[in-house]
Each structure stands twice: as structure tokens, then as C-alpha cells.
Amino acid sequence: MGLERLVSVIQEKRSNYDTDLFMPLFAAIQKGTGVPPYKGHVGEDDVDGVDMAYRVLADHARTLTIALSDGGHPDNTGRGYVLRRILRRAVRYATEKLNAKPGFFATLVNTVVEILGDTFPEVKKDPQSVIDLINEEETQFLKTLTRGHNLLNRTIMKLGNSKTLPGDVAWRLYDTYGFPVDLTQLMSEEKGLTVDMDAYEEAKKQAQILSQGRGGWYDDKIILDIHAITELRDQNVPLTDDSPKYNYHAKSEDKDAEYEFDGCIAKVLRLRHSKKFVDHVTSGQECGVLLDKTSFYAEQGGQIYDEGFLVKVGDENVEFSVKNVQIRGGYILHIGTVEGILCEGDEVSLHLDTSRRRLVMNNHTGTHVLNFALRTVLGTEADQKGSLVAPDRLRFDFTNKGAMSVEQVKATEVHSNAVIDKNEPVYAKEASLAVAKAIQGLRAVFEETYPDPVRVVSIGIPVEKLEEDPYGPAGNNTSVEFCGGTHLHRAGHVGKFVIASEEAIAKGIRRIVALTGPEASKALDGALKQVKALSAETSAMFFSVDSEAKKIVCLSAVP
């Protein structure tokens, strides 16, 4: 017998769930959701499934608190995948059975710590990081839970008398919406259906074979090649208007300001599938969608593509999941998978993954700040050679004769945070290429070809002022760059800025990887924990950790 069964015997309970190991969790669930109290019903007696949801949340909250406190992490493979499946199952029950608000499930961690903390002291060390990790996973899953559920319901309605859910649908629920197959099986069983697992495995196998032959997410059967671009031009198909990608604003000037992104309705001009343009695409097909306009950012200039989905106007059953966005010859192709029938000429509403875009904007403005800081610390010889702007990090390549010293790395980070702390406006404007090139202090990769007019992004000084006196000293005192990317509206919105690494990638070329915003905060928290652990292991305390200010203070010289 395990602990729970021993306790049930000692406390003379028929079920583990009726013991004091679980009742405090049930009380927290009832208080947090407002559902009727736990009655202990099972099977057919549990008509609405509420008691089952009680048990799932309580049990999974215990499992995840222990596992994540022990260093586990949700992932797509191995043990991490088991944790992700458990977490998503709990989120689904919380949302659908208990009507819980986002973030509620993670609050149960505190109750688990109260119950088990004395016996398992490791869960007391950092419960907030466990809560944060659960909330991050929940946020990602909730983005697709409703959409995936709608796909399942639509499929079930089309089955007629069949009691088997097609395996390719189960695979798409996983591949597109993140539904683990056992979750799909559970949801199907609730409808009296079984999943065709043989067909699921075959769909999975074919997807793996297809992905191995690709250079990126997409393949050459979808992407626009020179022949496709020529065909579009010959048919006078207009270039994609992507100006709506800049249609967003900050709700305030505060450093923790939220952003609002304007909606966008567009028309499907062409559909790309199997190396040709087609008049329609159907469920499960991977294809490319060319619109007359878009609010999605196509990968270019070092900035990664946007993700999200499109919904047909007037028919929400038709949805296109955007997994990549590429630009070729001025035409922007949205690449992904369709559900339903999407036709040329249809109107669609565009739904950007705004939380992901916000992180990308953080890192792009952070890249400009870093570029300016490097020029200040290393001098004007530190020229940009490349960059990557992703949601979780930024990467910046630059010329330098040797490795940066510890002091130089620190100075660069300090200077970057100083620029951010000033919280000055970020200005963007198109300018004459000849005038823009003359601006003193302007940073650009001059080996590249820029359009005329060219978009100029400046921190703290309006572009108009720089245009009026391009040879003046103003440009030397701030970040000024050619850039078509999406940026924050104020530098302070970047939040924390941390340099994670500095290394050589080629002779005379260095690479910095840096983190901003939430990722930077997590890195700082992790570093502070390591210092605390190190100080606890030493016989003498050499460092004091100021957790609130997130600083490490040296008290004495280390022998």
C-alpha cells in the first residue's frame, strides 16, 4: 500500500479522495470555481462529470507540483510529454467541466504545498516557478483548445452512423492544435466513439517522412518559386499589402503596458498546393494562402514569421492555421493547414498570435538597443553581420577583433538597460534613401540592398528631426537603423535585458544571445537560485542576494 491507501484505512474512508490528503484540494476547487461541493459520485452517478473533474484536478495538481519541483519540464518527447499530457488534461477538465477561469489550476499548487510541504520540503523551495510554468503551458493550450474542440465536433457531425473517428483527424488535432492523442481518445469516448489508431500512426509516419525532406517547415510544393511569381505577375495579381502588420498600439506608456492589435479582413487571391495554384483546398491539406492584404509579418530582416489562424467570413467552420509566413517577389504566402473548404475569392478574418508577436517585438527593439550599446562600448568598428529575432531570444552577430572581456559584456548589458529604463518613444518613418544614409550614427548592413524610400527606426529622437539635419550629432546619441520590422512603441516596454552568451562564430565575428522581458526575468531568477544554492553549500557566506532588486552583492573577497 502507498501513503494514500494507508491514510484511507487509518481514517476509515472508502476512497483515497475522501481523506485529508485530498479534501483541502477539493475545498480549494469548490471555492475557486463556485461549483457544487464534491459528492464522491463515479461512473453513471456522476451525471455532469463534475466529481470526475474534482478528482482529475486534485490528482494532477499533486503530480505536477512534485514533478516540476523535482526539475521536470513539459515537453514534446519522453517524460516531458507525459507531464504535458497530464497538464493539458487537467486544463481541459477545469475549463469545460468546472468553467474555471484561466490561471485557476495553477493556484492549486499552493494547496499542494500546504498539504505535502512538510513531508516533501523540495516543493517549498520555489512554488512560484511551478505556478508560472503551469500558467505558461495553460496559456498556450487554451489558444487552441476551443478551435480543436470545434474541429472534433464538426467531424463527429459528419460521421453519421459510424462510431470511429478517422485517424488523420486525430493526427491533425495533435499536429495543429496540440491535442495529445489520449486526450482525443478521451473526448471521443465521451461521445461513444473510438479513434482509428492504425490510421493515426500512418498519418504520423507520413508527416515525419514529409518533414525530413523539408529545408524548413514548408516544402517546395507550397513555396512560391520563380515560375509561380512569374505566373502571378503575368496575371496582374497585385503585390500583398502588408501595412496592417503595423496596426497596433500600446494601451499606456507604462513599462508593463499591454498592446492591442487591430483586426484585419482580407480576400483570398490564390491558393497554392502541390506546386500549382488551385481554386480550392480541403480539410487536412497543407497549402499556401495568398491574400490581398495581411497583418501577419513575413520572415525577413532577421525577424521570424508570425503565427495564428484565418477564419472564413460567414462560416467559422472553415479555418486555416498559419504556421509560417514567407515573402517572395513582394507576394506574401501564409503556409499551414486548412479545415473545411477554402476557396479562391473567399474573405477571411485574420487572427494573429498576439502574445507571440509581442515577445518578438520585445526582442526586435531589444536588438536595436543592443546594437547601439555595442557601438558605445566597442566603438564604431563593431558592425552588424546578422541577427535573429525570435519570441524566446535575440541573436546578434557583429565584427570584433577578439572576445569581449567580462567588463565589456557587463558594460553592454548595463548600457542596454539604461536605454530601456529611459522609456523613450520608438519612432518609425519612411525616408529618402539618400537622406537616410547621410544620418550620422545610423546603423545598417550596407552590403544589403534597401528600398527607396526606406523605413527608419529611431529611439528617442523623431525621424523627421534626423532628416532635417542628417549631418548633425543627434544620431550619434541614440539608436537609428534601417528596419522594416515590428517594434514596441516605447523602449521601456522591453522590460529586463540580459546577455546570455557571447562567443565566436567565425574569425573576427562574434555572436551575442540575449533575452528580454519574461525570458530575461526567468534567467535572472534562475541565476539567483544558483547563487543561493552555492552560498548554502559553502562554509562562509561570500555573497548576499537581494532578491527584490535581483542583484548579487559581494560581501568580501573570495579566497
Pairing label, strands 164-165, 248-250:
unpaired
Give the pLDDT confidence score for residue 22 in this predicted structure. 94
Provide the residue type at 300 as one letter: Q
Give the pLDDT confidence score for residue 151 in this predicted structure. 83
pLDDT higher than threshold 90 for residue 243: yes
Q: Are 100 and 32 in contact (CB under 8 A)?
A: yes
| pLDDT tens sequence across 64-108 | 999 999 989 998 888 998 999 999 999 999 998 999 999 999 999
Give the pLDDT confidence score for residue 548 in this predicted structure. 58
Q: State percent of the chain over pLDDT 90.
A: 65
Question: 270-274, 411-415, 459-463, 505-509: which range is least confident on average?
Answer: 505-509
Give the pLDDT confidence score for residue 541 in this predicted structure. 55
pLDDT higher than threshold 70 for residue 188: yes
Question: 103-112, 208-217, 228-237, 425-434: which range is least confident on average?
Answer: 208-217
C-alpha to C-alpha distance for 244 and 31, rounded to whole angstroms: 44
Give the pLDDT confidence score for residue 543 in this predicted structure. 58
Question: 61-70, 257-266, 398-407, 534-543: which range is least confident on average?
Answer: 534-543
Split at pLDDT 50, 70, 90, the class of 218 is low
Give the pLDDT confidence score for residue 177 in this predicted structure. 83
Give the residue, 483 or 475, on which the prediction is more confident: 483
Split at pLDDT 50, 70, 90, the class of 333 is very high
CA-wise closest residue to 288 among 269, 304, 266: 269
Q: Which residues pair with 425 in a beta bridge?
A: 490
Give the pLDDT confidence score for residue 217 in this predicted structure. 47
| pLDDT tens sequence across 493-508 | 999 999 999 999 988 8
Sheet holding 426-431, edge to edge: 426-431, 454-459, 480-482
pLDDT higher than threshold 50 for residue 185: yes
Split at pLDDT 50, 70, 90, the class of 525 is confident
Split at pLDDT 50, 70, 90, the class of 255 is confident
Domains, the chain:
3-159 (no CATH), 226-352 (2.40.30.130), 358-521 (3.30.980.10), 526-557 (no CATH)
Q: Cβ atoms within 10 A of the Cβ of 386, count? A: 13
Question: 178-187, 213-222, 312-321: which range is least confident on average?
Answer: 213-222
Helix (H, G, I), strand (E, B) or coil at 393: coil
| Average pLDDT of the chain to the nearest whole number | 90
Q: Are 118 and 152 in contact (CB under 8 A)?
A: no
Give the pLDDT confidence score for residue 555 in this predicted structure. 58
Split at pLDDT 50, 70, 90, the class of 559 is very low
| pLDDT tens sequence across 510-521 | 999 999 999 998
Q: Read off the pLDDT of each residue in 50-62 and give the average, rounded to a whole number.
A: 96
C-alpha to C-alpha distance for 484 and 445, rounded to whole angstroms: 13
Give the residue, 468 or 332, on which the prediction is more confident: 332
3-state helix/strand/coil string of 61-129:
HHHHHHHHHCCCCCCCCHHHHHHHHHHHHHHHHHHHCCCCCCCHHHHHHHHHHHHHCCCCHHHHCCHHH
Split at pLDDT 50, 70, 90, the class of 539 is low
Cis geometry, peptide bond prior to residue 453 (ω within 30 degrees of 0): yes
Residue 337 phi/psi, 5-degree rounding, is -125, 140
